[in-house]
A and B are shown apart, each in its own frame.
Chain A
């Protein structure tokens, strides 16, 4: 091949413009959502495990409703907050594993070789986690209502419930993304996942905070941000419209999202060695 041929190489015939961050988020989100929806098996544990635990708790712990000051006579409605929170933690794993697989299989390098903006990569990757969170929330709600749970906040509460699920999925998804970017290994993400469940069990998931008799447990549950997320979900089922509980839940999820995005951005900066 000669240099002459190169010299007469036609200029690029395809129309190109620098793709905006928003456009990149759109393409990456589309991929993330498509991937998520094409792996229905990924939904099985995140649907089965929380619903199984809900069934066990609501039958085994129903006597807790007899405690003086227990806020409802339906433990099923009470326990649903924990179910929604568990779902969000599964979204964490989904986001983390997805980016870790991209790193392991070289797709991350493919993206790095395009004019990719780092904020677009983070936002796009989280889209799948958010969709997973919403899908799970809708499923939990349908199953719970079918088994006699009552949503005190009514039809408008459904929208808030879904919005909160998306928000919490997004927040914990950013944590998962950070772990995935730091480790670059899907198995490592899976290994970290059970640790997040410690937060779940040291929260007000099983009992209202003021009814936890053990002092240290009550203290831990009070400083554990996950308690406020669970209480936000729970309030829609048993209280109706509790402005304080919802503000705390949305506030805490925004706080976790902010920390998660900061950590994910830092992890991405370290991971992307490109010049």
Chain B
């Protein structure tokens, strides 16, 4: 593969003092121009990985090359090739968007004319022209994220790292940011490494997804391939009469193995796929079972996570963080 704007990671490890391995030997490859979604719950090791790949944190062991440069031996070259928007949009509340742009461009060595042109262009692109001369302290969360993204792009990086870029954003701001990320990858050929804890974000944006849990990659592939691996859809039925639940379970078990269900229902993974649905309804009817609710679930990335870890993605990080103490310890 071309490595000039790709990422290659081999057995990367990061241990913190008095803590577990935040990242426990991960391998991954991101092709040039690809959007790679790094999906996992809070505390899984996503941000620690980003901190290592962006040279902010030296790894304990393993190697990684970003844009063809070793992250330990060639830190300055890596930084020159990447743009980064970390989890918290780190902005100075006393500066305006335009002043941020000027500072960022100046630090990257842009000439004054280019800094001005590039700054105006990026501010317009993220829809902040009207607010460009207002202090950032008064910006909404979405505006701050958009400015953060624009700042990450000021030196035209080949690779963009986005650490949970849409956490806390409303739907409109989230969609706008997704559009911009997709545009950057498709029109500008920028490689994007995106961490997220949102299933729909990984599904909508990523060409390939790596699922990380407790510092290890538990699954990797395109969202469709990962879901296909889990394969079959699930049908969940709830009886009108609670007393019929066991009978309903017996009938449904003819169509596949039992799957996790809500408190009122019974679910099975359909061995033959969705075209068995009519047969399921007929079988329940034949047993005089009245159905209060019937749902069919296509496999999701959450199902993939469940299949690989035995837990649901949503809420998994919170339980873990409570159990272990917040172990995704990245520098403040």
Is B truly associated with A?
yes
A binding-site residues for B, Cβ under 8 Å: 1-9, 12-19, 23-24, 26-28, 30-31, 34-35, 38-39, 103-107, 109-116, 184, 273-275
Chain B residues with CB under 8 A of A112: 56
Q: Ordered nearest first, which 4 A-B pairs have the shortest CB separation?
A: A6-B33, A106-B90, A9-B189, A6-B32
Chain B residues with CB under 8 A of A13: 156
B86 within 8 A of A: yes
Chain A residues with CB under 8 A of B32: 3, 6-7, 9
Q: Contact between A116 and B107 (Cβ–Cβ < 8 Å)?
A: yes
Chain B residues with CB under 8 A of A114: 79, 104, 107-108
Q: Contact between B55 and A274 (Cβ–Cβ < 8 Å)?
A: yes
CA distance A32 to B2 in the complex (A): 42
CA distance A103 to B56 in the complex (A): 13
Q: Contact between B35 and A1 (Cβ–Cβ < 8 Å)?
A: yes
Q: Contact between B332 and A103 (Cβ–Cβ < 8 Å)?
A: yes
B186 within 8 A of A: yes
Q: B35, B71, B94, B118 — which one has the most chain A CB atoms within 10 A of its CB?
A: B94
Which single residue of chain B is at the shortest CB-CB distance from A1? B185
Q: Contact between B109 and A6 (Cβ–Cβ < 8 Å)?
A: no
Chain B residues with CB under 8 A of A275: 55, 58, 71-73, 75, 78
Which of B31, B95, B111, B151 touches A3 (beta carbons < 8 Å)?
A: B31
- What distance in Å separates the Cβ of B148 from its nearest Cβ neighbour in chain A? 9
CA distance A270 to B275 in the complex (A): 63
Chain B residues with CB under 8 A of A107: 90-92
Sorting the interface of chain B by its residue count into under 10, 10 to 19, 20 to 34 or 35 or more gives 35 or more
Q: Contact between A31 and B103 (Cβ–Cβ < 8 Å)?
A: yes
B195 within 8 A of A: no
Which single residue of chain A is at the shortest CB-CB distance from B78? A275
- On whether A15 and B107 interact (CB within 8 A), knowing A6-B191, A105-B88, the answer reads no
* Binary contact track B79-107/A, C-beta < 8 Å → 1, others 0: 11010101010111011000100111011
CA distance A196 to B190 in the complex (A): 51
- What distance in Å separates the Cβ of B302 from its nearest Cβ neighbour in chain A? 24
CA distance A226 to B145 in the complex (A): 46
B1 within 8 A of A: yes
Which of B31, B92, B110, B154 touches A15 (beta carbons < 8 Å)?
A: B110
Which single residue of chain A is at the shortest CB-CB distance from B115? A14
- On whether A115 and B107 interact (CB within 8 A), knowing A1-B34, A6-B33, A34-B94, the answer reads yes
- On whether A3 and B88 interact (CB within 8 A), knowing A23-B106, A113-B79, the answer reads no
B binding-site residues for A, Cβ under 8 Å: 1-2, 5, 31-35, 54-58, 71-73, 75-76, 78-80, 82, 84, 86, 88, 90-92, 94-95, 99, 102-104, 106-111, 113-114, 117-118, 135, 151, 154-156, 158, 182, 185-191, 207, 331-332
- What distance in Å separates the Cβ of B243 from its nearest Cβ neighbour in chain A? 54
Chain A residues with CB under 8 A of B104: 110, 114
Which single residue of chain B is at the shortest CB-CB distance from A117? B107
Given contacts A8-B189, A26-B106, A105-B90, 14 further A-B contacts (CB under 8 A): A1-B185, A3-B33, A3-B34, A5-B186, A7-B32, A14-B155, A15-B113, A16-B114, A19-B106, A31-B95, A34-B95, A109-B90, A109-B331, A275-B71
Which of A8, A28, A115 touches B108 (beta carbons < 8 Å)?
A: A115
Q: Contact between A38 and B135 (Cβ–Cβ < 8 Å)?
A: yes
Listed by A's residue number, 18 A-B pairs whose Cβ atoms lie within 8 Å are A1-B182, A7-B32, A7-B189, A9-B5, A9-B32, A17-B109, A23-B106, A39-B94, A103-B332, A106-B90, A109-B90, A109-B331, A110-B104, A110-B151, A113-B82, A114-B104, A115-B107, A274-B79
- On whether A16 and B94 interact (CB within 8 A), knowing A5-B33, A7-B2, A106-B88, the answer reads no
Q: Contact between B110 and A14 (Cβ–Cβ < 8 Å)?
A: yes
- What distance in Å separates the Cβ of A54 from its nearest Cβ neighbour in chain B? 30
Q: Contact between B79 and A115 (Cβ–Cβ < 8 Å)?
A: yes
Q: A1, A8, A23, A184 — which one has the most chain B CB atoms within 10 A of its CB?
A: A1
- On whether A109 and B86 interact (CB within 8 A), knowing A14-B110, A273-B57, the answer reads yes
Q: Contact between B118 and A14 (Cβ–Cβ < 8 Å)?
A: yes
Which single residue of chain A is at the shortest CB-CB distance from B87? A106
Q: Contact between B108 and A273 (Cβ–Cβ < 8 Å)?
A: no
